[in-house]
Amino acid sequence: MSFQMKELLFSIGEELAADDLEALKFLCLDLIPLKKQETIQDALGLFRLLREKGMLEEGKLSFLKELLFRIHRIDLLKAHLGTSHGDVERELEEPGRAQVSAYRYLLYQIAEELTKENLTSIKFLLLSELPKSKLQSPTTALGIFIHMEKHGKMNEGDLGMLKKILKDVQPSLLIPIEEYEEKSRARAGAAGNLSTALGQLSLTTGNYNQQVSSPKAAEEMERISQIMAPYKMNHLPHGFCVIINNSEFQNPQNTRRGADKDAAALDKVFSWLQFKVEHHNNLKGEAISRVLRAYSERDHTDQDCFICCLLSHGQKGEILGTDWEPVPLRALLGLFTSSACRTLATKPKIFFVQACQGGQGQGGLSLRGREGALLEADAVVIPSVPDWADLLVGMATVEDFICFRRPRHGSEYIQALCRALETFCPRGKDLLTILTHVNKEVGQKVFGSNKQMPEVKFTLQCPLIFPVPESGNEREEQEEGC
């Protein structure tokens, strides 16, 4: 950290009063646990812990700006950070930009409205709920709220006890709680609808002849995407598109013929969509992990998104290196969680996986399709995507089943994906709607006596819409929509 940065934090810390520090610590509880906060004696102690969490770095002051905005220290925003109330307010209105949880901020706002008389009444009403010793020490509403949380009387999903108390003490404060609960239900409903819609589009059991798509699910997904604000995509390039293409394996009979067609198609479409495309070919297992770890350690501050395309052989929950060394997909995703890659926090991280059969070094299964064209079967399975925000994993097939690749033309999944992106991005369609079309296209094809069904797992919080360059509309094809 430079001397200028230290001087800046010192100057801000010098102007923060004791009640400011208490408020900041409370707003940071989701990042810095209460036990660790016991060591904080002043603002500089808090700043040190925030630096350790990667939330306060040179050139990365958005969280500090938000904190000062939340506690109404607009004077410090102007004097030391060169920004205004309006600037920060507009930034926080953008989806995914706020880093203080809505729950934590709600409690802070309520605490701001409570008088000393209110606190006395609240302590009295809590006598039957909390030990008396715990009610003697807190002198502020924030302290009382912390004890309520510690004793299981309140959490972000259950504000019943707080509402019961405020109904007697300060009924007007029930309004912001009810607004918070309504927004929480709306978010949960939207996420549930998206998950339900997507679930109707994917095979979840071992029957290749099951229904492979649902028009109603597609319509619901697109409707939801239209009422939610999309992720922000305003940097150029938007971010990295990393293509890892393993085609040459130790045993020549396991060569992934047609893989170069997939890599070229992905390069073409994501270069057009204004991503910085970088290729890594024929990597051993250890090298796959090393390469992606290097990307997770890069600074993505001035980027909107990260895309990774994994083209290789695979087995249950794993991608295989050219040395047949397995790499768990979960471990690769873990490199890009919000805690592991801070500069991609709240930004979409997209993984497309075309993983092939060959976990035991066996050759690909050759089949003949309806038109007699040679097909090769790829096998892949999917571990459950961890409950980390802003991730999407598009798989070539559902768990435990095979997918297909044409040696002369590339894989069915990747080629359908690239065609759909070229067709629907100029129409402003979001990525989940586009992947619905891919599911439908691939799912309707017959490979010998088999079918293939792609699968998508995601924790996206907003629709993801790839903007196209001004001249990009000419790529739009006259095809039927989803």
DSSP letters, 41-63, are: -SHHHHHHHHHHTTSSBTTB-HH
Which of 147, 177, 207 corresponds to the end of one domain?
177
For residues 411 and 404, is the Cβ–Cβ distance under 8 A? yes
Please give the pLDDT value at position 185: 76
pLDDT at 34 over 70: yes
- Co-location of 129 and 33 in the same domain: no
Among candidate residues 310, 460, 315, 451, the one with its CA nearest the CA of residue 383: 315
The catalytic position among 313, 341, 418, 462 is 313
- Co-location of 326 and 453 in the same domain: yes
| Separation CA 334–CA 343 (nearest Å) | 14
Where residue 94 sits, what CATH number does that domain have?
1.10.533.10
Asked if residue 187 is part of any domain, the answer here is no
- Co-location of 139 and 278 in the same domain: no
- Co-location of 117 and 167 in the same domain: yes
Instruction: Give the model's confidence band at 222: pLDDT under 50 very low, under 70 low, under 90 confident, else very high.
Output: low
- Co-location of 278 and 397 in the same domain: yes
Say if residue 389 is exposed, middle or buried (CB neighbours under 10 Å; 0-12, 13-18, 19+).
middle
| Separation CA 34–CA 19 (nearest Å) | 17
CA distances to 75, 87, 302 from 82, in Å: 10, 10, 19
| Separation CA 298–CA 114 (nearest Å) | 45
pLDDT at 421 over 80: yes
pLDDT per residue over 121-149, tens digit each? 999 999 988 888 878 777 899 999 999 99
pLDDT per residue over 439-480, tens digit each? 888 766 644 445 556 778 888 888 999 999 876 444 444 333
Contacts of 59 (CB under 8 A, 6+ apart): 301
- Co-location of 289 and 355 in the same domain: yes
Is 151 a residue of the active site?
no
Q: Which residue has the higher pLDDT, 385 or 150?
A: 150
Provide the domain limits for residue 23: 3-100
Among candidate residues 472, 467, 405, 392, the one with its CA nearest the CA of residue 436: 392
Written as six digits, the tokens of 420 are 């759909």
Mean pLDDT within 400-411: 54
Mean pLDDT within 60-71: 93
- Co-location of 299 and 345 in the same domain: yes
Number of continuous H segments (helices) and E segments (strands) in the chain: 19, 12
Return the SS3 of 230.
coil
Where residue 386 sits, what CATH number does that domain have?
3.40.50.1460
The catalytic position among 356, 403, 462, 482 is 356
Please give the pLDDT value at position 210: 29
Asked if residue 200 is part of any domain, the answer here is no
Work out how many domains the chain is built from and give that number.
3
For residues 56 and 100, is the Cβ–Cβ distance under 8 A? no
pLDDT at 429 over 90: yes
Asked if residue 25 is part of any domain, the answer here is yes
Please give the pLDDT value at position 227: 62
Please give the pLDDT value at position 290: 94
pLDDT per residue over 294-305, tens digit each? 999 999 999 999
| Separation CA 304–CA 221 (nearest Å) | 23
Mean pLDDT within 338-363: 73
Asked if residue 473 is part of any domain, the answer here is no
Contacts of 251 (CB under 8 A, 6+ apart): 361
- Co-location of 325 and 440 in the same domain: yes
**Which residues lie across from 10 on neighbouring strands?**
none
Which of 68, 100, 132 corresponds to the end of one domain?
100
Count of C-beta atoms within a 10 Å radius of residue 374: 13
Is 313 a residue of the active site?
yes
Report CA Rg, the chain.
26
Written as six digits, the tokens of 203 are 């095979």
Written as six digits, the tokens of 309 are 């395309």
Q: Are strands 374-380 and 401-406 parallel, antiparallel or unpaired?
A: antiparallel
pLDDT at 403 over 80: no
Asked if residue 168 is part of any domain, the answer here is yes
Please give the pLDDT value at position 159: 94
Q: Which residue has the higher pLDDT, 445 or 63?
A: 63
Please give the pLDDT value at position 208: 24
The pLDDT mean for the chain works out to 79
- Co-location of 398 and 437 in the same domain: yes
Please give the pLDDT value at position 408: 56
CA distances to 3, 11, 22, 56, 82 from 6, in Å: 5, 9, 22, 11, 17
Please give the pLDDT value at position 314: 81
Q: Are strands 306-315 and 349-356 parallel, antiparallel or unpaired?
A: parallel
For residues 404 and 256, is the Cβ–Cβ distance under 8 A? no
| Separation CA 449–CA 461 (nearest Å) | 38
Asked if residue 269 is part of any domain, the answer here is yes
Tell me which of 11-20, 226-235, 268-277 is least confident. Answer: 226-235
Helix pair angle (102-113, 174-199), 10° resolution: 170
Asked if residue 403 is part of any domain, the answer here is yes
Q: What is the rounded (10 degree) CA torsion for 243, 275, 201, 313?
A: 0
Which of 137, 160, 177 corresponds to the end of one domain?
177
For residues 125 and 163, is the Cβ–Cβ distance under 8 A? no
What percent of the chain is modeled with pLDDT above 70?
A: 76
- Co-location of 173 and 302 in the same domain: no
- Co-location of 293 and 408 in the same domain: yes
Please give the pLDDT value at position 282: 94
**Which residues lie across from 401 on neighbouring strands?**
380
Phi and psi based region of residue 244 (left: phi greater than 0; alpha: psi -120 to 50; beta: remaining): beta
Please give the pLDDT value at position 77: 95
- Co-location of 168 and 311 in the same domain: no
Instruction: Give the model's confidence band at 209: pLDDT under 50 very low, under 70 low, under 90 confident, else very high.
Output: very low
Asked if residue 482 is part of any domain, the answer here is no
Count of C-beta atoms within a 10 Å radius of residue 477: 9
DSSP string, 147-204: HHHHTTS-BTTB-HHHHHHHHHH-GGGHHHHHHHHHHHHHHHHHHHHHHHHHHTTS--
Query: Taking the mean position of all CA atoms in its chain, how far away is CA 422?
Result: 24
